Amino acid sequence: MGLPGSGKSTVGRQLARRLKVGFVDSDQVLEWRLGCSIREFFEREGEERFRDLEQQVLDELTRSPASSEPCVLSTGGGAVLRAANRAVLRERCTVVYLRSAPEEIFRRLRHDKSRPLLQVADPLARLRELYAQRDPLYRETAHFVIETGRPSVATLVNMIVMQLELAAPPSVAPAGDGVGAAPNGTLS
């Protein structure tokens, strides 16, 4: 989890490959169910209705029989805005917060025209507002905080794997890779 543009999908996909598990992006699941983009749904139905559906999807993804298979789950940046989501993720998953400074995200994404977040008069100010609001919530939910800064995706994946290995009790770690998972095997 982390702010929009923090690398959740990119790092999550690589982490899933490294761990030899599936990858699920909750925003993609939502768009598939909605039959339109999140941006379109937001504009048509509003944020509250979107957050209701997001909460339902996160609950399903973390408790369904499919979640008994280990996977890496990338959440939407605003998933932490609801206490129910924070609780479900913290209790059912091993949560990794990809912490990115607003200035770093802005540097990475300043030319990206596809992100609604940045289509405002002052995108850096908007990122700073989101960070101030969400950073405490991400920290409350996370088991691990990974500072993204400027490391490569491969380095970030190595940092996450190292944290997981250090935290995994020997009785939980799967044979071969030494990486442990939450009771249901989902990494978020």
Q: Which of 183, 152, 149, 188 is nearest to 169 (CA)?
A: 183
In a domain, 62, yes or no: yes
Q: How far is CA 136 from CA 61, 81, 171, in A?
A: 24, 10, 32
CATH number, domain of 149, equals: 3.40.50.300
Total tally of structural domains belonging to the chain? 1
pLDDT tens digits, one per residue of 116-166: 667 788 999 999 999 999 999 999 999 999 999 888 999 999 999 999 999
pLDDT at residue number 139: 97
Residue 2, in any domain of the structure:
no
Residue 154 in domain: yes
b/e per residue, 6-18, with b = 16+ CB within 10 A? bbbeebbbbbbeb
Half-sphere exposure of 55 (CA within 13 A, CB side): 14
What is the per-residue pLDDT across 65-111, written as a single tens digit (0 to 9) for each? Answer: 555 678 999 999 999 999 999 999 999 999 999 999 999 999 988 88
Q: Which domain holds residue 176?
A: 8-187
Greater confidence (70 vs 27) lies with 27
Residue 46 lies in a domain: yes
Q: What is the pLDDT, as a whole number, of residue 140? A: 97
In terms of Cβ atoms closer than 10 Å to its own Cβ (0-12, 13-18, 19+), residue 59 is middle
H/E stretch holding 166: helix 153-167
Has residue 73 been placed in a domain?
yes
Residue 1 lies in a domain: no
Predicted pLDDT of residue 120:
85
